[in-house]
Structure 1
């Protein structure tokens, strides 16, 4: 399963049924799980940990050192979960001493030309369309979708089940379960279509919608809205997830769209 026109360092640890196509280079201190396919002209550098049944397409570069002037050569990793697909020319850099790793979860699809910088933590079943560019220390929750040619500022958090429209500049945190669109990036409603696809009941979706109506439509500031939500809404996983995410937001959350704040209204 290993093509003769490859280079695999003697200290790399590959499961017996890993398939590696020609002209790929695998450095030392690399682990690759069962059933994974590595395409041609892939470079996998020190510290990569790739799970089972992954697909790494031609031209990808995994576990290169961070593009961070503060990096001092400390040991760090890139972790790729089982069943994840990484398309052509994706680059995923190792972590720094901040988190020690850059991680992508299980069942993700990272499309062509995307970049994940150092210390990004991406959850399970995340989709990143072509040419998503993520700066360092970004966190993305499970089942989130990020549209193509989007740029995500360092330290931003994108919540679980969120949908970010293509071509977005993401400089504020995107709370869970919502759609984010327009310029500047703004709240565009609850991601009801995605939630239905993932088995959320109508009652659960309406519960989430009611919470975000308080946050974005009632004229309260964020602190007032959170207090109201905790007092007036029954405790649920969704309520607690939303409240905790917003309370712990480091960069502040995206706002409601107001007319006149941009030149055009981008639909999704």
Structure 2
């Protein structure tokens, strides 16, 4: 009564450690008992079912994605702010949340003529029987709305940061032109993204190309606070479903199945 959905999972992990430290025979370990394992999975499933209603994160718009591409390509913006715009775009096109981006290994980032790829050294699926997996991410070179090569420009910015680490985002310097060698957690990544969102300009079509309208912000006031660190995860599936016939059904079904596996079904 009143237990959280991860309570039994945490207890089972602690029990396993205690039994190993106590040098119990494997046959005598409760943590290895099939009846106990089945019971704990069943109770965890019930806790998840009876848990609080989950609310869908705010959905980023196509205009935001377009404006992020223009922001990234704007040489007058601080370098690290532009690098964070790249992070936002990778999250949107890669269906990732802030926690996922901090599991990205920088040395695994590659850009070829086909597109961008990287590896997340761990990412959790949601649900009663939660698993941790290594995930390969791929974003086509054709992904984008502005017609610019934002993937190449973003990769160039991140290649200039020579800090060995097993995560991507570092703490920003005060001027946002550079960064420190200290890492940040997922909640700070989300704050950084909101800062970038607040500075996005409304995109406009002018003389055959997309440009920023410096006189009009895309998200004025406190609108950027509406978006969370996991808002990006459903963008691709939702847009794919909205445009219907322009996306192959098999591709959309595969993306939707992946989202369902992770407990992240799009609107």
TM-score, normalised via structure 1 length: 0.22
Q: Which has the higher strand share?
A: 1
Q: Which has the higher helix share?
A: 2
Q: TM-score by structure 2 length? A: 0.22
